[in-house]
Amino acid sequence: MHGWIFDICEMIQNHPRLHRDATRIIPPPSPMLCGCCGVVRCMFLHLSADRSSKHLEYSKWKRSPYKHQSNVICSFLRLDLLPAKNGEEVTKHFLQELLNILLAYISKSLNRSSKVLDFHHPHQLKEGLEGFSLELQDQPDNLEQLLVDCQDTLKYGVKTAHPCFFNQLSTGLDIIGLAGEWVTSTANTNIFTYEIAPVFILMEDIIFKKMHSIIGWSEKEGDGIFCPGGTMSNLYSVLLARYHFFPRVKTAGMLALPPLALLTSTHSHFSIKKSAAVLGIGSESVFLVKCDERGKMIPKELESSIRTAKSKGLVPFYVNATAGTTVYGAIDPLNDIADICERFGLWMHVDAAWGGGLLLSKRHRMKLQGIDRASSITWNPHKMMGVPLQCSVILVQKKGLLQECNQLCAEYLFQPDKHYDVSYDTGDKSIQCGRHVDIFKLWLMWKAKGSEGFESQVNHCLENAEYLYYKLKSRKDFQLVFQSQPEHSNVCFWYLPTSVRNMPPGPERDRELHMVAPKIKAKMMEEGMTMIGYQPLGDKVNFFRCVFSNPATQKEDVDFLLDEITRLGRELYS
């Protein structure tokens, strides 16, 4: 070590404001002078708690009074990172320390004894908690502080990978998928020309072919594009259907068209209505078709809705069938709906954002029989397949339609005179122009799991749902929202406090029952050991919806959830 390093070393150890454990110092690759105070900067290390260990950590001066403007010595700033000259070492140490933070977080997320969330109200977080301030300054913070900020951001967030997080359709954290995301963000490119994303564009192509064959489309059929979420995928489907029947709409707009009608079930996702509103068709053009007790569209009702729309002078053109509704997980009778669509000459879309994953399971895929007859399909690998958010796709049976519908041939973006096959430039197929690379994590997961791996993952989730279903069936303090066995991994139920259980059915009981789930959920979030969603639906008052998509979740977690609801319920209603 150079002499000056020892000098600084001593200076640090004698300095009252610096960390006392700073016993080691590593020399920077070359002496660097701080721009503001002119003193040599270097990186401080201290031996970790276990002094025999060779693992060195950055000293954490987190919220110490130590500041850059201190005239003694400066910690590293982001300007010391690459692309700074000799920035490799600092970059390496910074990202290594980040990795350690992320690994600790991942381990904690999967540890059943740790909390799912550490809840705070917005005003509390805004005021700053234990030195974690969200406010931004004009002056830069040092790297140490940034690492602490990363740690705090995770700490006050929600551990969506936790085996007891049942709140959303997307749960869990696939390590391979995560690795895929890290590679993607390091590649930092845009997937709109082959020129700047050659590998990713071909991976999309390969995954599409895989998905087409799983659906049952022939090799001559099928196209697709990755979208920022299922709502966007559904919006694409309406856009494509409209263009397919009325290509004039692209240039002349809706005024050149007759008044249109879309059909979807009362249990379907609100994105069909949203698409109608956005695309200028109007949300009133959406006809909501009645469902059975189980949440499945009734084919006869679809027919009569089509006739109603026609009798009002509207032109029905699009039917959305859902494979896996958000709340009940219901799958519409696809073949019956396909028959009707064929008879009336309508575009059949299947919103399989949630249910698409079942296609990978030999045991469950027949539930989606008829899906190959769809003109377009939404499928979100970020849901049942456990791919990190976001990963959603719109698949289209008719080749070339995406391109025709969306292309504007802006030559300043997509040059036709390039030296490679420009049919691989996908930018003009999309609404978005530049697109985020959502393919790599899915491709890598497929490599890692094989189709078999996805299959066992899906089966596992549905077994958990079945387990919960039978558990609930046998209990008197719980009531299922519908009696039949779940088709997907959604299980819907009420918790019945004794007071409610003793009330006769009727509006008074409903009023009381409606308040149970929100009350329990509020307490659940404050205690933070598990998390599950609730909602009302149609004439059903607030009930819990449990969904399984996290491979980490086991039967013991299902038991824990019920115990926890019971415990909280008893506390609230004793």
Q: Using CB under 8 A, which residues numbered 318 to 337 contact its own copies?
A: 326-327
Q: How many C-beta neighbours within 10 Å does residue 289 have?
A: 25
Residue 408 interacts with its own copies (CB under 8 A)? yes
Which residue stretch of 55-63, 329-337, 365-373, 410-418 sits at the interface with its own copies (rule: CB under 8 A)?
410-418
Which residue stretch of 293-301, 364-372, 430-438, 482-490 sits at the interface with its own copies (rule: CB under 8 A)?
430-438
Residue 212 interacts with its own copies (CB under 8 A)? no
Contact (CB, 8 A) for 109 and 103: no
Contact (CB, 8 A) for 62 and 30: no
Identify which of residues 44 and 543 has a Cβ nearer to its own copies in the complex: 543
3-class SS of residue 156: coil
User: Which listed residue (55, 121, 220, 476) binds its own copies by CB under 8 A?
Assistant: 121
Site for its own copies in 6-25 (CB under 8 A): none
Distance of CA 98 to the CA centre of its chain: 22
| CA pair distance 43, 27, nearest whole angstrom | 7
User: Which listed residue (206, 343, 363, 470) binds its own copies by CB under 8 A?
Assistant: 206
Binding residues with its own copies: total (CB under 8 A):
161
Q: Which residues pair with 382 in a beta bridge?
A: none
Site for its own copies in 360-379 (CB under 8 A): none
Q: How far is the CB of 158 from its own copies (least distance, A)?
A: 5
User: Which listed residue (46, 273, 364, 429) binds its own copies by CB under 8 A?
Assistant: 273
Which residue stretch of 9-17, 56-64, 331-339, 516-524 sits at the interface with its own copies (rule: CB under 8 A)?
516-524
CA 309 → CA 242, 262, 275, 523, distances in Å? Answer: 16, 9, 18, 46
User: Which listed residue (96, 218, 484, 499) binds its own copies by CB under 8 A?
Assistant: 96
Which residue stretch of 146-154, 287-295, 334-342, 459-467 sits at the interface with its own copies (rule: CB under 8 A)?
146-154
Q: How far is the CB of 532 from its own copies (least distance, A)?
A: 11
Mind giving me the DSSP string for 187-247?
H---TT-TTT-HHHHHHHHHHHHHHHHHHT--TTS-EEEEESSHHHHHHHHHHHHHHHH-T
In terms of Cα–Cα distance, which of 279, 248, 249 is closest to 262? 279
Site for its own copies in 536-565 (CB under 8 A): 536-537, 542, 551-552
Identify which of residues 350 and 442 has a Cβ nearer to its own copies in the complex: 442
In terms of Cα–Cα distance, which of 478, 412, 382 is closest to 168? 382
3-class SS of residue 319: strand
User: Which listed residue (138, 313, 506, 539) binds its own copies by CB under 8 A?
Assistant: 138
Residue 277 interacts with its own copies (CB under 8 A)? yes
Per-residue binding string, its own copies, 45-74, x by CB under 8 A, is: ---------x--------------------
Mind giving me the DSSP string for 412-467?
TTS-TT-SS-GGG--GGGSSSSS----HHHHHHHHHHHHHHHHHHHHHHHHHHHHH
In terms of Cα–Cα distance, which of 397, 447, 401, 403 is closest to 424? 403
